[in-house]
Amino acid sequence: MEPYILGIESSCDDTSVAVIHGNKILANVTANQHIHRAYGGVVPELASRAHQQNIVPVVNAALEEAKLTPDQLSAIGFTSGPGLLGSLLVGTSFAKSMALSLGIPLIDVNHMQAHILAHFIEHAAMQPPAFPFLCLTISGGHTQLVRVDDFFTYQVIGETIDDAAGEAFDKAAKIMGLPYPGGPLIDKYAQLGNAETFSFAKSRVAGYDYSFSGLKTSILYFLQKKVRENPDFVKENLYDLCASIQHTIADMLFEKLEQAAAHLRIKHIAIAGGVSANSEIRLRLKAKTDWHTYIPAFEFCTDNGAMIAMAAYYHYRKGYEASLNTVASARMSVEQSKDKPFS
Ligand code: KG4
Ligand code: ZN
């Protein structure tokens, strides 16, 4: 019989809990933390405090939605890293207590693997990728090109050497005076603008690595100059600015993705992570008719408990169980599960 797994995600500013049966989602409940908006970015101390407040109600809501009682669960999965340590500790401690009290396996999950494994959630709008595939994981904390050979074998082909793609969106938005997180707003306004209006410097980095910090500086200097000439410049050009910035980020992402796919001769290409919710990136990937492309449903792009439960499911099936001494870590490579002891 397929297991019932509860997955807990608390690596950043979303407390999200899902219950799955096999690879079917029974519930996926998320509490977003709006408190960070006032600060223009995630404040780690406030994030861990909000996780403490949210975790019990969100777990209860997920179980209620799944119409299950805790004693029906087969295992508890939780994000053990990478992420903000204080935030991770809330989910880790809660997951340990719950697994211990129910006498069921505890499964630590790598957040970056979970973003990729979200593709295997059973969903009408999604087809699971065929192995090997190349996944462009683009989030607020990471930008990576990962070769995925099976559920447990990941190889980083390239990654950002400074800012992540999500940070590039959020920092550009902040420069324009938009609230955090700015990525979804840039996407929304870009749909009303012309992407050819402004051009920004694209950093050149060797191999398949990325660099986005130069773009932020280029936007900052450009806008400082324009605002000196006309204080209403951003307001008057917001849609074109958003479209041009989004287009530049998408160009940078696709350039390396195309080169890596050609070099590795992989035609199965997936995107994952919060920035994969971006409409231009989704459209550009869909337009690649020479590739088999895999785009997650919106609800599985940004951080969610379902992807954690899904990753836990594949480890559970292999007989893996974490020790109660497992610790959360702020840094953790997506390649890490090679070292897990499967029974
Ligand atoms: O994966 P995620 O939810 O959290 C991390 O693990 O970081 O990604 C959050 C990032 C933020 O930077 C947010 O601005 C960005 O994803 N994001 C978007 C869009 N939706 C979320 N960026 C561009 N366009 C979007 N539609
Ligand atoms: Zn994430």
Exposed/middle/buried for residue 217 (C-beta within 10 Å: 0-12, 13-18, 19+): middle
In eight-state DSSP terms, residue 33 is -
pTM: 0.95
CATH number attached to the domain at 129-295: 3.30.420.40
Fold for the domain defined by 4-119+300-317: Nucleotidyltransferase; domain 5 (3.30.420)
Angstrom distance (rounded) from CA 38 to CA 331? 27
Ligand 1 in reach of 275 Cβ (< 6 A): yes
Task: Spell out the alpha helix ranges (H) of 23-144.
Answer: 44-66, 85-102, 111-117
| Structure tokens, 34 | 């709006």
- The minimum-distance atom of ligand 1 relative to the CA of 140 is 7
pLDDT along the chain (343 residues), means of 10: 97 96 97 84 91 97 98 98 98 98 98 97 93 97 96 97 97 96 97 97 93 95 98 98 98 98 98 98 97 96 97 96 96 82 67
Closest CA to 100 of 328, 326, 330, 319: 326
| Structure tokens, 103 | 């006498």
Distance 279 CA to ligand 1 centre (A): 12
Fold match, 4-119+300-317 / 129-295: yes
Distance 16 CA to ligand 2 centre (A): 11
Q: How do the domains of the chain map onto residue ranges?
A: 4-119+300-317, 129-295
Angstrom distance (rounded) from CA 296 to CA 190? 21
Q: Do the beta carbons of residue 175 and residue 224 sit within 8 Å?
A: no
Residue 29's DSSP bridge partners are 17
Ligand 1 in reach of 193 Cβ (< 6 A): no
Exposed/middle/buried for residue 162 (C-beta within 10 Å: 0-12, 13-18, 19+): middle
Give the DSSP per-residue string, 192-235: TS-TTS---PPP--STT-B--HHHHHHHHHHHHHHHHH-TTHHH
